[in-house]
C-alpha cells in the first residue's frame, strides 16, 4: 500500500523522500523491522489472550527432559507469525505482483489448515487433530494452485539473453533487446556449470505441450514434503522457527539476485522478472520468525502449533518454486529432510523387523531425530543450537552454488 501511496506522491507532487519507496531493499528493511516489532509488541498480548482462553498444549510424558512442565503452554502461536508476515507484506510490497499474491495465498491457505488441526486438538479435545486425509487434500490443492499459476500466468516468465555474453550490462538492460521472455518450465541444477534443467526432459515420452502435468506433480510433491518436514521439526523450543528464519534469509538472497538483471547476468543465473519483490516478503518472513523466537526460545512461553509449522513449510516450498531453486531444497531444508527421513526410517524399519523377527526394532531411540538426542540426555537448548549451526552451514553451501559449479 505504501509503495503506491509514495509513488503517487513522488510522481504527482515530487514529495521529498517519496522516491525511496521504489527501492526493494528499502521496503524490505521496513518490512523486516515492522514484522519484528509486531511479533515483540503484540506477541505478549496475544499469548495472554490465548492463555485466558485456555488454549494450551497437552503434552504426553514421553520421558524427555523438560517435557512435563510444558503441559498447558499456550499453543496456536503460529497466528503471531502469520499476522507478522501478512501485515508488513501488505504495507510494503507491490500487491499486483503475481509472486506476492501467490505467497500470501499460500501462507493463509496453509495457516488455515494448521489452524483447523490445532482447533480440533484444543477445543474438541481430539489428540489426532484434523485427519491426515484432509491435510493432504489441502496440500495437494495448494500445489495445484501454485503449479497452475507458475505454468499458465502470463506474468511468470524467464528472461534469457539473445545477444553475445560479452556485451556490457547496464542499468538499462531490461529495456534493451538483450533479453527475450520465455515460458520454459525450467529450474536450477546445483553445482553444474550449465545448470538449467527443462522439465520437458524428465519424461521424454510425454509431448512437450503436456510438460505442465509433470511440473504440477512436482509442485504438489514439494509443498507436501516441505510442509510436513517443517511440521516434524516443530518438536522442541525454537527449532522450527530458528531453522525457518535461516531458510528465509537464504531465499531472500536468491530472490534478490534472480530478480536483478545485473546480478543475474554477472552470476550467469536465470533472470526472473518481478521476482525481486519476493525479497520484501522474505524480509517479513524472517522478521516474524525471529520475533516469535523471543517467546518460543527455551523455555517456551508459546508453541506455534500446526498453524505455524505447516504454514512455514508451505511458504518455504512456494518460495523455492518461485525462484526456481526447488532442486536445492535437500540442501537448504536439510534439517527438515533429516527429520522427515528419521521418522520414515524408524517406522519402516520397525514394521519390517516386526514382520521378520516377530518384534519391532528401532534405528533411533525416538523419532523425529531431535527426540533421539533428547533421549540421550542432551539438553534441548544445545540440540537446537547445534541444529541451527548445521542449518547455517547448509544455507552457506546453498548460496555458494551461485558460483560453485
Residue 367 belongs to some domain of the structure:
no
pTM score > 0.75 for this model? Answer: yes
- Total tally of structural domains belonging to the chain: 1
d(CA 242, CA 276): 24
In a domain, 267, yes or no: yes
- List beta partners, residue 160: 180
Q: What is the pLDDT along the chain (405 residues), one digit of tens a residue?
A: 888 887 878 888 878 888 888 999 999 999 999 999 999 988 888 888 888 877 766 665 556 655 555 667 888 899 999 999 999 999 999 999 999 999 999 999 999 999 999 999 888 888 888 998 999 999 999 999 999 999 999 899 887 654 444 444 444 444 444 556 666 788 888 888 777 888 877 776 777 677 888 899 999 999 999 999 999 999 899 999 999 999 999 999 999 999 999 999 888 888 999 999 999 999 999 999 999 999 999 988 999 999 999 999 999 999 999 999 999 999 999 999 999 999 999 999 999 999 998 889 999 999 999 999 999 999 999 999 999 999 999 999 999 999 887
Domain assignment present for residue 364? The answer is no
- Residue matched to cell numbers 496440500: 139
Q: Would you tell me how many other CB atoms lie within 10 Å of the CB of residue 112?
A: 15
Q: For position 166, what pLDDT does the model report?
A: 46
Note whether residue 295 is domain-resident. Answer: yes
- Specify if 54 maps to a domain: yes
Examine residue 122 and state whether it is found in any structural domain, yes or no: yes
Does 341 reside within a domain? no
Question: Quick one: which of 336, 78, 83, 302 has its CA closest to 231?
Answer: 336
Q: Is residue 340 part of a domain?
A: no
pLDDT of residue 65: 56
* Residue 239, domain extent: 2-328
Establish whether the linkage from the previous residue to 368 is cis, with ω within 30° of 0.
Answer: yes
Q: How far is CA 45 from CA 39, 100, 112, 175, in A?
A: 10, 28, 21, 49
Amino acid at each position: 500500500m505504501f509503495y503506491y501511496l509514495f509513488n503517487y506522491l513522488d510522481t504527482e507532487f515530487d514529495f521529498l523522500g517519496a522516491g525511496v519507496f521504489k527501492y526493494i531493499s528499502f521496503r524490505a528493511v521496513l518490512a523486516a523491522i515492522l514484522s519484528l516489532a509486531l511479533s515483540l509488541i503484540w506477541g505478549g498480548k496475544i499469548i495472554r489472550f490465548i492463555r485466558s482462553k485456555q488454549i494450551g498444549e497437552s503434552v504426553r510424558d514421553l520421558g524427555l527432559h523438560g517435557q512435563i512442565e510444558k503441559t498447558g503452554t499456550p499453543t496456536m502461536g503460529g497466528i503471531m507469525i502469520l499476522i507478522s508476515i501478512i501485515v508488513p507484506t501488505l504495507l510494503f510490497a507491490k500487491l499486483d505482483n503475481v509472486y506476492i499474491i501467490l505467497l500470501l495465498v499460500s501462507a493463509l491457505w496453509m495457516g488455515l489448515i494448521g489452524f483447523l488441526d490445532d482447533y480440533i486438538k484444543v477445543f474438541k479435545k481430539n489428540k489426532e487433530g484434523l485427519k491426515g486425509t484432509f491435510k493432504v487434500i489441502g496440500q495437494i490443492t495448494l500445489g495445484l494452485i501454485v503449479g497452475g499459476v507458475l505454468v499458465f500466468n502470463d506474468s511468470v516468465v524467464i528472461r534469457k539473453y539473445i545477444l553475445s555474453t560479452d556485451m556490457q550490462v547496464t542499468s538499462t538492460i531490461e529495456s534493451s533487446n538483450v533479453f527475450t521472455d520465455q515460458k520454459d518450465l525450467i529450474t536450477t541444477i546445483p553445482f553444474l556449470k550449465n545448470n538449467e534443467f527443462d522439465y520437458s526432459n524428465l519424461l521424454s515420452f510425454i509431448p512437450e505441450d503436456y510438460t505442465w502435468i509433470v511440473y504440477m506433480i512436482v509442485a504438489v510433491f514439494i509443498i507436501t514434503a516441505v510442509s510436513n518436514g517443517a511440521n516434524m521439526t516443530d518438536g522442541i523450543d525454537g527449532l522450527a522457527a530458528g531453522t525457518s528464519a535461516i531458510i528465509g534469509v537464504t531465499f531472500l538472497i536468491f530472490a534478490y539476485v534472480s530478480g536483478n538483471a545485473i546480478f543475474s547476468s554477472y552470476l550467469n543465473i536465470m533472470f526472473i522478472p518481478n521476482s525481486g519483490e519476493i525479497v520484501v516478503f522474505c524480509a517479513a518472513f524472517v522478521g516474524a520468525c525471529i520475533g516469535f523466537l523471543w517467546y518460543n526460545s527455551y523455555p517456551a512461553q508459546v508453541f506455534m502449533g500446526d498453524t505455524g509449522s505447516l504454514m512455514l513449510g508451505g511458504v518455504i516450498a512456494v518460495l523455492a518454486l518461485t525462484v526456481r531453486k526447488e532442486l536445492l531444497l535437500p540442501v537448504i531444508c536439510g534439517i527438515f529432510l533429516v527429520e522427515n527421513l528419521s521418522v520414515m526410517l524408524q517406522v519402516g524399519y520397525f514394521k519390517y523387523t516386526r514382520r521378520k523377527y516377530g518384534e519391532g526394532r528401532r534405528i533411533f531411540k525416538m523419532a523425529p531425530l531431535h527426540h533421539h538426542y533428547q533421549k540421550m540426555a542432551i539438553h534441548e537448548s544445545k540440540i537446537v543450537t547445534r541444529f541451527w549451526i548445521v542449518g547455517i552451514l547448509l544455507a552457506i553451501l546453498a548460496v555458494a552454488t551461485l558460483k560453485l559449479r
